[in-house]
Amino acid sequence: MKYSRIVFELFFGVFLLISTSALLWSGEPGDLIKKIILKDISLTEGEDLKERKQEFWREISNSFDFEEIAKRVMGKYWKDRSPEEKKEFIGLFANNVKDACMSKTGPRFGEKIISLSEKQNNRYAEVHIGLIKRTVEEVSADFHLIKKDGKWQIYDLIYQGVSLVHNYRSQIHSFLVKSSYEELVQELKQGPHQE
């Protein structure tokens, strides 16, 4: 299964941003997003890049609700899965996202947060961030969050109009039209393929 390069670049890149605008107002969801974005991933002398990426993933992965993301990317196919299959799919999906993110190297995607706005409605929130890339181009990212058991977690990321959930859903649904769920599981076990 091929994954869209732009989604992975944005997904990993947006978390590599360093902001000089740390005082932007926000509530709890916005604070979570700022905490992730402002996380310093620079290496110290003698530090291993692979281990630093692993540490970075450990630090941010709890900010994502992979069960909610998996349910949304499976869409109509989710209800047909047994509890054991759902649990396995969530784990495989999270590992694929991790592997795709960890495969990216290179400079930070952007330099500065120029705006942050937030909307909350009971259990759901949306945090919109305006960013400036190194090319001085303005870009935007939208984080969709859900509150469960008193904790906010991300369930979708939209970068320049491209949704992580919709991208995966499109690929998975296209795959399942031609192949079985068991084949999808085997494909996910192989990890993400590079284009």
CATH code, 165: 3.10.450.710
Predicted confidence at residue 159, as pLDDT, reads 84
Compute the distance between CA of residue 4 and CA of residue 11 in angstroms, rounded to an integer.
11
For the segment 33-79, what is each residue's pLDDT rounded down to a tens digit?
Answer: 877 776 656 656 666 777 777 877 888 888 999 999 999 999 999 99
pLDDT, average across residues 96-107: 68
Q: Express as a percent the part of the chain with pLDDT over 90.
A: 41
Kindly tell me if the per-residue pLDDT of 181 is higher than 50: yes
Nearest-10 Cα torsion for 67, 68, 69, 75: 110
Q: Would residue 195 count as lying in a domain? A: no
Q: Would residue 24 count as lying in a domain? A: yes
Compute the distance between CA of residue 147 and CA of residue 123 in angstroms, rounded to an integer.
5
- Confidence label for 5 from pLDDT (cuts 50, 70 and 90): low
For the segment 112-136, what is each residue's pLDDT rounded down to a tens digit?
Answer: 677 788 999 889 999 998 877 767 6
Predicted confidence at residue 45, as pLDDT, reads 63
Predicted confidence at residue 46, as pLDDT, reads 63
Q: Would residue 143 count as lying in a domain? A: yes
Q: Would residue 139 count as lying in a domain? A: yes
Compute the distance between CA of residue 115 and CA of residue 74 in angstroms, rounded to an integer.
33
Kindly tell me if the per-residue pLDDT of 158 is higher than 50: yes
Mean pLDDT across the chain = 78
Note down the domain range covering 110: 5-39+48-190
Give how many domains the chain has, as a whole number: 1
**Alpha-helical regions (H) of the chain:** 5-14, 28-37, 49-61, 66-74, 83-102, 164-178, 181-190
